């Protein structure tokens, strides 16, 4: 006869030591548990495990929800009512957790979408079309500034010696570049105001 300690048997069968004490008490000896008898009983019990059935109120208490919620989840086919208006505990807990997990994922996704939309309206992000428009607008204004500077420069440098001409050209180019650096893109906040109205 092969004997095994409680902790080892629990580890072998992947159950708790308390469960070992509860179901194998008849095979316990002062030196340990009879290994072969315990494994045979465990196999027979696991094959006979038809599940634990509970009523609606008990299932609601276990899940921490109201009875009405259990009825709603039953109507949505998330929870499955068996014969005699009883619920198989193990499968229904799995179904509830799976459905609850999907609900949590959906809620997270909605929250992230709302946060992203808020950041877009706060001008932290821009769509591709907006970026293209902003860059085009900025470069067109810069080009206009440089082209208008050419005429101004030409008129101003006629009467100056060559050394002073370069300083005048530098001044106009720096002025155009400063205007470019101060460029303010259009805001998404106008879209938000329209959407809120």
CATH number 1.10.10 given to 53-119: yes
* Distance from C-alpha of 9 to C-alpha of 40, rounded to nearest angstrom: 13
Ordered by start, the domain boundaries in the chain are 3-48, 53-119, 128-196
Q: Look at the chain and count its residues.
A: 197
* Distance from C-alpha of 158 to C-alpha of 194, rounded to nearest angstrom: 53
Which pLDDT belongs to residue 28? 92
Which pLDDT belongs to residue 138? 79
Per-residue pLDDT in tens (0 to 9) along the chain, 197 residues: 789 999 998 888 888 888 888 888 899 999 999 988 888 888 877 665 556 778 888 888 888 889 999 999 999 898 998 877 888 888 888 888 888 878 788 888 899 888 888 877 777 777 777 777 878 887 888 777 777 777 777 777 777 777 677 777 777 778 877 877 777 766 666 666 666 66
Which pLDDT belongs to residue 49? 52
Nearest to 3 by CA among 33, 26, 29, 25: 33
Cβ atoms 25, 6 nearer than 8 A: no
């Amino acid at each position: 006869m092969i004997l095994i300690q409680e902790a080892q048997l629990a580890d072998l069968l992947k159950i708790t030591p308390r469960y070992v004490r509860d179901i194998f008490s008849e095979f316990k000896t002062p030196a340990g548990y009879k290994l072969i008898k315990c494994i045979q009983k465990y196999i027979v019990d696991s094959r006979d495990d038809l599940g634990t059935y509970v009523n609606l109120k008990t299932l609601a208490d276990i899940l921490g929800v109201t009875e009405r919620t259990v009825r709603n989840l039953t109507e949505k086919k998330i929870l499955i009512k068996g014969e005699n208006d009883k619920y198989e505990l193990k499968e229904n807990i799995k179904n509830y957790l799976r459905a609850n997990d999907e609900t949590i994922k959906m809620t997270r996704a909605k929250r992230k979408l709302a946060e992203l939309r808020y950041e877009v309206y706060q001008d932290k992000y821009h769509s591709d079309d907006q970026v293209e428009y902003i860059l085009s607008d900025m470069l067109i204004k810069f080009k206009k500034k440089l082209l208008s500077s050419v005429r101004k420069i030409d008129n101003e440098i006629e009467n100056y010696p060559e050394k002073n001409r370069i300083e005048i050209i530098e001044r106009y180019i720096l002025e155009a570049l400063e205007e470019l650096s101060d460029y303010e893109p259009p805001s998404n906040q106008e879209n938000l105001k329209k959407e809120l109205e």
